[in-house]
Amino acid sequence: MEIYNKISPIQRTPDASAAQAKEKAAKATPVAVQADRVALSPQARELMSAREAIRQMPEVDIEKVAKVRAQLRDGTYVVDAQKIAAKMVDEALLDDITK
């Protein structure tokens, strides 16, 4: 069996179309391009600045973690059950409101 390396005209059409499109674009008359502009309000600039400051903050408060670790190690860490219960109730109420 012999295989000939012939490409039919139908298979060449996409390449020819791409070449024609490039040629057409090169011949097109240049049109003046007007640049887009954006003006930010002072509040928007302040918000961007705040977001950037937050982005640069570490995700973990290393000093707080070290303090709690030391308290756990020394056996002086105290769990405030009232505070935990209050936060759990607040979260549950907040979840109910947002649903």
Nearest to residue 7, comparing CAs of 15, 91, 75?
15
Kindly calculate the radius of gyration of the chain based on its CA atoms and give it in whole angstroms.
Answer: 33
Q: How many alpha carbons lie under 13 Å from residue 26 in its C-beta half-sphere?
A: 6
Residue 17: per-residue pLDDT: 64
Q: How many alpha carbons lie under 13 Å from residue 87 in its C-beta half-sphere?
A: 5
What are the tens digits of pLDDT across the range 32-91? 678 888 888 999 999 999 999 999 988 888 999 999 999 999 999 999 999 999 999 999
Structure-token pair, residue 70:
């030391």
Only one residue has tokens 């209050």, namely: 86
Instruction: Output 26 or 95, whichever has higher pLDDT.
Output: 95
